Homo-oligomer: A and B are copies of this chain.
Amino acid sequence: MAFFPASLETLIDKFASLPGIGRKSAQRLAFHVLSLSDPDARAFADAITEAKASVHCCRICQNLTEGEICAICESEHRDRSTICVVSEPRDVLSIERGREYNGTYHVLHGVLSPMSHVGPDDIRVKELLVRAAEEEVQEVIMATNPDTEGEATAMYISRLLKPFHIKVTRLAYGIPVGSNLEFADDATLNRAIEGRTEM
């Protein structure tokens, strides 16, 4: 018993297929789209096709870009001897926000995850090895997330990089700046003690 018109049902289905959007939210979103003006709805649809058509991965670092090479890889001000390896394009944004890091990136587009059948061939590891072999890379910073899969991926890649005699480092673990010891979990606190630095 579908009581919504077919094209509305289709739209609801499309929204419901997005990650984290349930049936009810999908309905709400679809109703919202119907309430948009014609040009606004048109613009929404166009934004999808445009983004899909023009965004692809940078030939070098695999980050998302509209050109052949992304702005960071193209920039003359970036230090090409250091590559920061992240799992997702949004992680590049996070690190850039800090305005500290001046090297280049490599986006894996995922992490190794045997549970979800994601192996080394499903993420951009090969492309990293090519760069390690070709470019004058001196250091690779593993900046995957500090969870099990991110950790395993960092470990795996660092082993692959061994033969290249490149320095491989990992982001420091510790208590977040501005945080409170009281709220730090045991694992983080232990890592903060292990990694203590001289003052």
Which residues of A are in contact with B by a Cβ distance under 8 Å?
1, 3-8, 10-11, 13-14, 18-21, 25, 27-34, 36, 38, 41-55, 64-66, 71-72, 88-90, 92-93, 96-97
Contacts and interface: CB of A to CB of B under 8 A. Distances in A.
Contacts of A25: 20
Contacts of A36: 52
Contacts of A53: 7
A44 B48 contact: yes
Copies of this protein chain in the complex:
2
A118 B66 CA distance: 43
Given A14-B44, A41-B49, A93-B4, A28 B19 contact: yes
A50 B14 contact: no
A18 B7 contact: no
B66 A27 contact: no
Contacts of A51: 5, 7-8, 10-11, 30, 33-34
